[in-house]
Amino acid sequence: MKFYKYLPIIIIISLLIGCDKDKLLSIHIIDVGQGDSILIQTPGDKNILVDAGDENSERVVKSYLKRNKVKSLDVVIATHPDSDHIGSLDNVVNDFNIKNIYMPEQSTNSESFKNLISSCNDKKLKINYLYKGDSISIENNLNLLVLNPSFIQNDNNLNSIVFNLTFKNKSFLFTGDAEYENELDIINSFDIENIDFLKVGHHGSNSSTSLDFIKSTTPDIAVISCGYKNQYGHPHKKTLDTLKNNNVLTYRTDINGDMIFYSDGQIIFSKKNYKLIS
């Protein structure tokens, strides 16, 4: 098994000593309820923020960043303009030094989107657009490849920025709210047959995480960001069954709260015994 879901403290200490703590990649799944927010901290001390929850998540996201000693964000990715992904991002832009911000090339009339654009303009922060096939070299042994969108559509979810982050021998897939249509395009366009870590699309909706997608990407670990007893019924039973039947270790924010996963590029592990979805 490629993932150590729980390691005794002695083994953890040995791992950290053996592979210098500064050399670890950490993936923080921030519990923002029914929304998405992910902090990625790199071995070279760079910070990447993917989404920032809804309008009510400002305090949660900003306090989480500050607790983790984040003063500057090297990369911010707003996966798509839905308010549960960008609702508090304007406040992050206002309060932190942002070096690069990326979005799909789409505009909406929503208050969340207008606030984010206004914050970027106030700080003279140039907005960069990402399309399928674009890549960003984050640092040595750490690269980001954009898998979606191919083109801009009317549905916000279909425009979600999906990207594959590779660190040495490990592969991490972040899917925003991508739908089945996006998944088919991705697996037909890219060779991503050995994903180690999957951020499940659209909070576990049954319109994402198709059997075709899971069989093609073969993830070992999956995380679902969703609100406790949310009105949408996320994650849906169909999605959970697909993950379970394909032996994917699955974890949820509505059950575990914030979660952090670490990797030295050879293994992925956590320091806490998060509850696994059975």
Q: Is residue 274 part of a domain?
A: no
Q: Is residue 55 part of a domain?
A: yes
Give the containing element (helix H, strand E) for 241: helix 237-245
Distances (CA, A) of 265 to 19, 42, 118, 122, 170: 10, 11, 38, 38, 5
Q: Is residue 25 part of a domain?
A: yes
Domain tally, the chain: 1
For the chain, the 3-state helix, strand and coil shares in percent, each to the nearest 5, are 30, 25, 45
Q: What is the CATH number of the domain that holds 185?
A: 3.60.15.10
Question: Alpha carbon 243 to chain centroid distance?
Answer: 18
Q: Render each residue's pLDDT in the chain as its tens digit; 278 residues.
A: 445 544 433 334 334 444 455 589 999 999 999 999 999 999 999 999 999 999 999 999 999 999 999 999 999 999 999 999 999 999 999 999 999 999 999 999 999 999 999 999 999 999 999 999 999 999 999 999 999 999 999 999 999 999 999 999 999 999 999 999 999 999 999 999 999 999 999 999 999 999 999 999 999 999 999 999 999 999 999 999 999 999 999 999 999 999 999 999 999 999 999 999 86
Give the global pTM: 0.93
**Domain span including residue 20:** 3-269
Question: Alpha carbon 99 to chain centroid distance?
Answer: 19
Q: Is residue 278 part of a domain?
A: no
How is residue 4 written in tokens? Answer: 């150590």
